Amino acid sequence: MSDERDLGNPARDDRELVLGWVHGVPEGLHAYAPVPATGSYPRDRLDRPKIRRVRLRSATPPPAPARPPGLVSDSDWKWITSGSRSWTSVTGRLGPDAHRIASALAKAGCLTIEHDLRISALVQPPRRLHPHPDLAHAHAEDRSRREDEADDIRAQAAELAEALIADWPGVARALGSATNTDRLAWVIRAADDLANGRTHDSVRAFVQTHARFTKARDDVHHLLAELGFEQEAIVALGLARNPYIGLGGPIRVKTRAGTINLAGIPGPHDIRLPTGHDISLLLPAQSSTLLVIENRQAAEAACDAYPESPVIWCHGQPPTAVLSLIAQAAQQSSRVVICTDADLGGARIAARIVDHIPTNLQSDVIDIGEANHVAGRPFNSHSRFHLAAIAERDDRIGQFARACLARGYAIEQEAAAKSSVRRAVQASG
């Protein structure tokens, strides 16, 4: 009978057991045995509770769990308190601070720490962390709310796509392809303005209309172009900015005012293309290889290493005005070499350029993944899905996209492009 009283007089009314005799419990915490799922504790031959696992919680629980300030980041707080976590995953995420953080959160009433019990001592390390039910419930409600909001956003996108598909098929496709909720929300704002004939004085004016801060999405015009908005739609919204083209090497720029020879001046040089520009490009009569490069640093390296080769830096996804000048320069070359990042954006850029230059012209796409490189960020499902669509092409673009998918991660140009461009130029003779 005395043993049972020492266990906290447990019993038979299914109250949890407070175990003051357990060794190894940190100061400020105490051990208890939760009521099993069966509703009663297993018992030994002497009818005493058999306790194999215990949990540690605050010795003086606060009225409600309170997050300790500055202890963990927002993402770690959400992860720890939204569901039960194995100790292996906790240490994998928090590293050597796992014990300190877990104890502090337990003392604040935010979670309990589960241990195996060997005779009367805690077995180390812990088994799991269990969040306070109120915190886990709050996170579950937040997830449910976000899922409901995402469902509403997707339904709104589908309705707008149906309304716009006849006049703006690119906008309609963008409404169906943007899977990220934040990106889709901006697409919907633009599509709704387009559907209702609203226009804006600038990109920042558009952003300020739809968000508190003018810089909340100051690249929205690039986002819309990347997702497939027609250039005319971007113009109609008032979001079109004058595009730039970067030029280097032996290229002459012809305007109404005269001709500028860029040969001998290290490039690339930014040229702004206003609406209705009258700029044209003149390449040497014997020009063999035109280099079209996505990344500025890679373009600078090409201009320095091969000053005799015309170079166009396309500033990322090239708008129509830039494409027309690339096509113009390509017609004066025997070969075009395109160098982009090895990712979805790079595959789209390469495809856009190849599809706008003469079909009878030799065009090569450099896969910088074939050079020595460090693995980049893994592709998300959105990138994999759209790369798979490009990979269906039966040309060099499709081959490039398939190689990107096979690697499974993005490769940026800056480190890998130099050797790749060098091989391409040497191959051209």
Question: DSSP secondary structure string, 179-215?
Answer: -SHHHHHHHHHHHHHHHTT---SSHHHHHHHHSSSTT
The Cα 83–Cα 169 span in angstroms is 43
In terms of C-beta density within 10 A (0-12 exposed, 13-18 middle, 19 or more buried), how is residue 99 classed? middle
pLDDT attached to residue 106:
94
The Cα 412–Cα 374 span in angstroms is 9
Question: 117-121, 351-355, 368-372: which range is least confident on average?
Answer: 368-372
Query: Burial code of 12-41, b = ≥16 C-beta within 10 A, e = fewer?
Result: eeeeebebeebeebeeebbbbbeeeeeeeb
DSSP one-letter string for 231-246: HHHHHHTT-----EEE
The Cα 164–Cα 187 span in angstroms is 13
Residue pair 54/23 in contact by the 8 Å Cβ criterion: no
- How many other C-beta atoms lie within 10 A of the C-beta of residue 256? 6
Provide the H-helix boundaries in 257-356: 296-305, 320-330, 344-354
In tens, the pLDDT along 225-271 reads: 888 898 878 877 888 777 789 999 999 999 988 999 998 888 899 99
The Cα 129–Cα 64 span in angstroms is 18
- How many other C-beta atoms lie within 10 A of the C-beta of residue 140? 12
pTM attached to this predicted model: 0.52
Q: Tokens for 324?
A: 């027309």
pLDDT attached to residue 1:
32
Q: Tell me the mean pLDDT in the region 362-385.
A: 81
Q: Does residue 119 surpass a pLDDT of 90?
A: no
Q: Tell me the mean pLDDT in the region 127-143.
A: 90
The Cα 124–Cα 54 span in angstroms is 12
Residues 6+ apart with CB under 8 A from 298: 339, 413, 414, 417, 418, 421
The Cα 181–Cα 147 span in angstroms is 10
In tens, the pLDDT along 269-311 reads: 999 887 667 899 999 886 778 999 988 888 998 898 888 899 9
CA-to-CA dists, residue 106 to 25, 26, 415, angstroms: 12, 10, 47
pLDDT attached to residue 10:
34
pLDDT attached to residue 122:
92
Rg (CA), the chain: 31
User: Which of the four pLDDT bands, split at 50, 70 and 90, describes residue 86?
Assistant: very high
The Cα 177–Cα 386 span in angstroms is 9
Question: What domains are there in the chain, each with its CATH number?
Answer: 2-131 (no CATH), 141-236 (no CATH), 244-427 (3.40.1360.10)
